[in-house]
Structure 1
């Protein structure tokens, strides 16, 4: 067997594989001999079928199968030994009908080669890494939410601004009859809330469904209708008040602290505020890091310049998916996936340059920590090593989950590289200001 390569250019090559008769003949003869021993052909005893008849019936199929196996094995071995970084898979070149009676065969494959390039993390303009803090306003609001959540309901005679109102939505035509509990801040318009102020049990408030809530899902829940039924719904509904309550704030005492964090973990309002701040900023750090990861990724894709074997990849995409595509469909698919492909190559280069590795021990340890954190949310604070190992083993038996965790760890290690080597400036601000600056939202 002989394998040669001709480089068309820096991104494309053609590999030619010449297979001689001595490369496959012994294997083909052995298979046909085994067939002869077991062949069931009318008129002949098993094991006594003439070899010529066996070859006539099975010879070509066996030959084709063995040559294809030999071809694939040889090509894969060649690509590995030559350390060729190929994109997609080798594509067989179209050739005239093969003469399977010949003593040897030649096959040609097109290769798309990965480009050579360097990655520069030092952007001219610094990329912002946000240090999001939980300010006093946020902490005080969170404490008030906790006090309301754990507070007592006190019956009221009339509706006031912060009442919890229970009642029934009705509309005879649409067969709406649904009991709900609501607060006035859930309504989209202030005028709607004003209709309730001063109302008593037994009063009926008539409301228009159009624009009643910010989100149609809220309307679905309130009226107990399907998504299609509430889409564009513009009718009047009646809301009959059956109960009015006001939530009395829970005392900030040891009993509440123990309910929230366990016995004696927090013993004062000062410690409560510190704990809320710490927990909130842990969550903010995850959000901030993800924003940094996204921003550096975008910078790298936009500023790391290299060519791709676009024509080859387009051709490869025609047959690479579950369904074959025509040329126009493949071109569209290539345009959609080009940015993702570029980042995969950049990421691979960064992983290689920075010697980033994820071991099975890394994956197991990360799984254990995830499981431990989840168990803590349900009050299981001290699981045994055996429990963690058993659950982690079940989780990692799912290859898709193991792959997801591995990718997560790679992202974490890349993030550490970015923090160390990229041109980054740190900006400290509250969560409210972060949302406004990054998302332009309220």
Structure 2
């Protein structure tokens, strides 16, 4: 193919792709001949226009188009044959004085080469693997919430101890405007809680956010404040009372147990707590796994060192989108995407070295289980396999859904691999402790 590669350094190279007259001449002549057959030029019958006139009018454009086609074919074939691991796409080197009047051409392309590196999954630093337990406090709180949820709700006009409020938290300067339900015992600041006693629907109570809750993260739930802002947030907020209710707690009897879990499934408060504990801890496994996956990802990014062809990638970003970017914009975009690119390379190497692949059977089995869980949520506990297979077929006929599900399957495979090969230390925590660990506190 006569393509030559000049390595600038370990991460950058230049390809020189020759295109000779022998490559393009016949193709150009065939296109021009077709133009001549169909050309409609005043003074000439169709098909009798002199080739010299066709050549003059269309020759340059046809030459450029055919040379470009040949160039792309040669370039793509070379990259496949040489199995070059490149980042981005080849960038043509612009030559201001390129001479199209010659018969043979040489085109140069810049390449960004993927770096060589090793990934050590068994490095010394141990990642914490959490087991989240539903402790007694959580179980008692959940039972009380169930009693209130299934109890009798009574609307009121005036706030008293133990009431539930529907309120809107407002602070225009900080963009806070969120309506939610609260109980006064949620406030750590008891002085703030007392301000509501005796107030009526429509009244507005002013309180401060600093120390309002026992955990600043609750500001995210009640005020819809971003995590980056919650720590030490100290602003005044108006709380408008939209509604006041109290509830007579439901009795913990068999009628309530049957309503919650089905007839005869549980018969005592202890069994209720055991059931809540079992269901909660199943959900906690997913959250613990996600944190473990996140922590391993960060560990690999920190411990796996390699350089990137940064200047090439910045130049490539300038020209790869629908709209060209300035150099400053491209540098900003590269800074945002560099971490993700590094992990893609690390992940790709791990997958290759451990032969992690997704088969169609893997995808079908994963999708099937997902559909069964979704159907169970809507009360369809025993769907037929025929029904499941039909839904799976429809889901996997959508390319976007197939890609999304494939990513989930590979994520599970990576998680299992990490659990097998990454050094871990086990830690048992309550959910409340886990949340604090999750946010680094």
TM-score, length of structure 1 as denominator length: 0.83
Give deviations 1:75-123, integer Å, cap 9, x for gaps.
1111111010001111111224433332221101111111111101123
Give deviations 1:327-386, integer Å, cap 9, x for gaps.
233233323322222111111100100101112332233223222212221222223334
Matched, 1:416 2:416: yes
Superposed CA RMSD in Å reads: 3.3
Cα contact 2:153–2:245 (8 A) shared by 1: no
1: distance between equivalents of 2:351 and 2:239?
A: 60
DSSP 3-state at the match of 2:3: strand
Matched, 1:342 2:342: yes
Cross-structure match for 1:38: 38
Query: What displacement does 1:219 show?
Result: 7.7
Cross-structure match for 1:15: 15
Query: What displacement does 1:420 show?
Result: 0.7
DSSP 3-state at the match of 1:426: strand
Cα contact 2:17–2:106 (8 A) shared by 1: yes
2: distance between equivalents of 1:140 and 1:236?
A: 29
DSSP 3-state at the match of 1:428: strand
DSSP 3-state at the match of 1:2: coil
Query: What displacement does 1:240 show?
Result: 9.5
Give deviations 1:35-57, integer Å, cap 9, x for gaps.
22222222222222222222222
Matched, 1:24 2:24: yes
Query: What displacement does 1:59 show?
Result: 1.8
Structure 2 gap segments, 5+ residues each: 170-178, 214-218, 225-234
Cross-structure match for 1:425: 425
Give deviations 1:277-315, integer Å, cap 9, x for gaps.
121111111111111111111111111111221222222
Of 30-39 and 10-19, deviating more is: 30-39
Cα contact 1:152–1:250 (8 A) shared by 2: no
1: distance between equivalents of 2:126 and 2:238?
A: 53
Cross-structure match for 1:247: 248
What does 1:396-415 correspond to in 2, within 5 Å? 396-415=396-415
Query: What displacement does 1:134 show?
Result: 1.2
Query: What displacement does 1:189 show?
Result: 4.6
2: distance between equivalents of 1:187 and 1:334?
A: 44
Give deviations 1:106-145, integer Å, cap 9, x for gaps.
1011111111111011232211110111122212221221
CA change 1:331–1:207 in 2 (3 A) is closer
Cross-structure match for 2:6: 6
Structure 1 gap segments, 5+ residues each: 170-178, 221-231
Cross-structure match for 2:61: 61
Cross-structure match for 2:92: 92
2: distance between equivalents of 1:135 and 1:234?
A: 34
Cα contact 1:208–1:236 (8 A) shared by 2: yes
1: distance between equivalents of 2:65 and 2:281?
A: 62
DSSP 3-state at the match of 2:381: coil
1: distance between equivalents of 2:249 and 2:411?
A: 46
1: distance between equivalents of 2:270 and 2:411?
A: 36
CA change 1:376–1:7 in 2 (3 A) is same
Question: In the comparison of the two structures, how many residue pairs are matched?
Answer: 415
1: distance between equivalents of 2:100 and 2:167?
A: 83
2: distance between equivalents of 1:427 and 1:217?
A: 27
Give deviations 1:144-177, integer Å, cap 9, x for gaps.
21222122236889864323468999xxxxxxxx
DSSP 3-state at the match of 1:107: strand
Query: What displacement does 1:411 show?
Result: 1.5
CA change 1:151–1:63 in 2 (3 A) is same
What does 1:156-305 correspond to in 2, within 5 Å? 160-164=160-164, 183-185=183-185, 189-195=189-195, 197=197, 199=198, 206-211=203-208, 245-253=246-254, 255-305=255-305
1: distance between equivalents of 2:397 and 2:435?
A: 39
TM-score, length of structure 2 as denominator length: 0.83
